[in-house]
Chains A and B, each alone.
Chain A
Amino acid sequence: MKVPESIRILIADDHPVVREGLSAMINRQPDMKVVAEAGDGREAVEQFSQHRPDVALIDLRMRGMDGLQAILAICRRFPGARLVVLTTFDDNEDIYRALQWGAKGYVLKGAPREELLECIRTVHAGKSHIAPTLAARLAERFSKPGLTAGN
């Protein structure tokens, strides 16, 4: 039986305990491996450039350069990047922008970890993964002209 190669993952979150917790949880999965961690947006961009992970989990709200800017920077430099947005609240306007700019998935922090793991696998497989509640709202928003310009 062929052992599949691990999904190489970058985690960017400014809360150290969250970062370490996510990292430990992911590393316990047989098919995943955390290859880099970042505590703010700038580090996320640097680490992404250096390690070129298969999937990057990026918290939207971080001190210093925030996640949204990091997502924009990464997607511009690496158009094929597979990014998953992490957020604390799902009514955040920035989620829409992150997805418009090229993020492929979105997971609410504190969601059951199966959801996060499934999201990582889906995005790694080249598909999008968006929570159903958000997907409905997203469709509604993107159908409105004028809102797609990013503001």
Chain B
Amino acid sequence: MEIMNPDGFQFRALVVEDNPADALLLEDVLRRTRDAQFEITHVERLQDALASLAVASHDVVLLDLGLPDSQGPDTVTRLRQSQPGVPVVVLTGLDDEAVGISAVQLGAQDYLVKGSLTPSVLGRSLRYAIERKRAELAVMAHLKEAAIVEERNRIAGEIHDILAQDFVGILLQLEAARDLSGSNPGEVAKCIQLAEAVARSGLAEARRSVWALCPPELDAEGLVGAVQSFLSRVAVGNPTAIGFSLRGEPYPLPNDKALGLLRICQEAVVNALRHAQASKIRVQLTYEPSGVDLCVHDNGRGFDPKAHAGGKGFGLISMRERAERIGARIEISGEPGQGTRLTVVARTSTGDGEGHSS
């Protein structure tokens, strides 16, 4: 992305600012930064920013939150949904620190207060934003890779432990049937029956594996039905009380979004069962006109979200990743001993937004 040159670094910055005076000032400050050089593209609207990012790569975006076509922290969300890989530094007015903080919570790397910008503050903030984002992307890529490897190993393990053994079992019975065909018809029938039974259970296992990879209920019954049938399956023989409730009128969701929500739900419920020692788990789906919320609430031993903020715990990372992929946000609240509440907010983005299904 950047070109190394002997004098320092050169970066491409996209300045999104509708106020011409502010924009000029920014460009001036940027030109005077010493430890890096910035090649500046300036646009005035969010739509133009998205268009620029779609056609050319930029190393960093400097984003004003009061644009003609988008105001407030939502601007960050919309930009990130379209271009999750580009670091964003937000510009706020003097009295808007709270807005800046919520922009950072929504994924901006930093916020800067207009009017107090010096070349060194701005240059350093942008450099840090770029480096931090790069490190974040590298970690994400690594985790994604690790998740894929883990999934592959799991599938290989299932094929090995179940399907291959079933084939061996069938083979042995067929060989036996061949051996006995001349001498003992009664035994032959038994062998064939056993082979049939093994083939049938192997088929059921194969179906289960395929279901886990790509649940057909999702097509047939939609997200609500798929969540319900998952819950009723885990509830069998489980002492934990698992409840489901639905709010609002369900409507069809894009496939990747429905699958992402189902997977997060499965992971959250399995986590609660395995680690939380919960006696009750409640799953709720809320259909709002603007999107769907999923909430998984348990009364288990809870956990400290701050301790997990760095993303320890593989389940949490992969849930966050899944959420990110469908443009959703995960909120986890809970304290040790108080149970855990996980909420996924998957609101329909205003733009194209569906983004990066895999």
Q: A-side interface residues toward B, CB under 8 Å?
A: 15, 17-18, 20-22, 24-25, 28, 61, 88-89, 109-110, 113
| Chain A min CB distance to B195 (Å) | 9
Chain A residue nearest to B165 (CB atoms) is: A15
5 A-B residue pairs with Cβ-Cβ distance under 8 Å, sorted by A, are A15-B165, A15-B166, A15-B168, A20-B194, A110-B168
Asked if B175 and A113 sit within 8 Å, CB to CB, the answer is: yes
Contact A21 B173 (CB under 8 A): yes
- Contact status of A88 and B165, CB under 8 A, knowing A17-B194, A28-B179, A61-B160: yes
Asked if A25 meets B172 with Cβ closer than 8 Å, knowing A17-B194, A17-B198, the reply is yes
A17 near B173 with CB under 8 A, answer yes
A61 to B160 CA separation, bound complex (whole angstroms):
9
Query: Is B160's CB under 8 angstroms from A21's CB?
Result: no
List the count of A-B residue pairs having beta carbons below 8 Å apart: 50
Q: Is there an interface contact between A18 and B172, defined as CB atoms closer than 8 Å?
A: yes
Which of B160, B164, B169 is close to A17, meaning CB atoms less than 8 Å apart? B169
CB within 8 A of B160: which of A24, A88, A113?
A88
Is there an interface contact between A18 and B176, defined as CB atoms closer than 8 Å?
no
Main secondary structure of the interface of B (DSSP, over half): helix
B251 near A: Cβ within 8 Å? no
Alpha-carbon distance between A61 and B165 when the two chains are bound, in angstroms? 11
Q: Is B171 an interface residue (CB 8 A)?
A: yes
Interface residues of B in 178-219 (CB under 8 A from A): 179, 194, 198
* Cα(A25)–Cα(B161), bound, Å: 22
Determine the chain A residues whose CB is within 8 A of the CB of B128 once the complex forms: none
One of A21, A88, A109 near B176 (C-beta < 8 A):
A21
Residues of A with C-beta under 8 A to B166:
15, 17
Instruction: Please give me the residue from chain A that is nearest to B157 by CB atom.
Output: A61
B160 / chain A contacts, CB cutoff of 8 Å: 61, 88-89
- Checking B169, B171, B194 against A15 with a beta-carbon cut-off of 8 angstroms, the contacting residue is B169
**For A109, what are the chain B residues with a Cβ–Cβ distance below 8 Å?**
164-165, 168
Q: Please give, as numbers and ranges, the residues of chain A lying within 8 Å of B164 by CB-CB distance.
A: 88-89, 109-110
For window 125-179 of B, CB contacts with A under 8 Å fall at: 160-161, 164-169, 171-173, 175-176, 179
**Neighbouring B residues of A88 by C-beta, 8 Å:** 160, 164-165, 168
**Distance in Å: Cβ of A24 to nearest Cβ of chain B:** 6
Contact B161 A21 (CB under 8 A): no
Chain B, Cβ-Cβ closest to A108:
B168
Q: Within the assembled complex, what's the spacing in Å between the Cα atoms of A130 and B194?
A: 31
In this complex, the member of B165, B167, B171 whose beta carbon has the largest number of chain A beta carbons within 10 angstroms is: B165
The CA of A60 and the CA of B17, in the complex, are separated in Å by 66
Which residues of A have CB within 8 Å of B179? 25, 28
Query: Which residues from A are CB-within-8-Å of B172?
Result: 17-18, 21-22, 24-25, 113
What residues on B are CB-neighbors of A20 within 8 Å?
194
> Given A61-B161, A88-B164, does the pair A24, B176 have CB atoms closer than 8 Å?
yes
Q: How far is the CB of B178 from chain A (nearest CB, A)?
A: 10
In the assembled complex, which residues on chain A have CB atoms less than 8 Å from the CB atom of B176?
21, 24-25, 28
